[in-house]
Structure 1
Amino acid sequence: MREEAGAQVFFKKVWLKVSVATNESAERLAELKEKTDARCLIMTMMKAAGIELETEWVKG
């Protein structure tokens, strides 16, 4: 997406904390995060819009 003159940018940065109930290893959790980030339409749209994304995935 490109910024139009006079258009307001609503989000500059998004923080996301994901808590996953699992017995899987940290490596498997990282793999899930990577695959989810690549396939999630919302994440893809925000990245394309130039929004800074900060995500944290934890075992909960």
Structure 2
Amino acid sequence: MGNTDVHPYFEKVSVDAKIKTTESEARIKELQEKTHHRCPVYKTLKAAGVDVISNWTRA
């Protein structure tokens, strides 16, 4: 079933998070790092060797 030439898993995932806040860029970066450290989805993808591209910007 399906195309055998297509990988049945993610190779790359892009996340574009837009944060509505008055906090500084440094605080946004800190939140991003803490989220990466604690998020089970992020950790699972990284452990599986998925290239996760995460861009956090102020909305």
Which interval holds the TM-score relative to the shorter structure? 0.7 to 0.9
Q: Deviations over 1:12-51 (max 9, x none)?
A: 0000000110000000000000000000000000000000
Gaps of 5+ in 1: 1-7
Structure 1 stretches of 4+ with a deviation exceeding 4 A read: none
Equivalenced residues, count: 53
For normalisation by structure 1, the TM-score amounts to 0.84
- Aligned-residue RMSD, C-alpha: 0.9
For normalisation by structure 2, the TM-score amounts to 0.86
Q: Quick one: percent identity of the two aligned structures?
A: 36
* Structure-2 change in CA distance of 1:9 and 1:50 (3 Å): farther
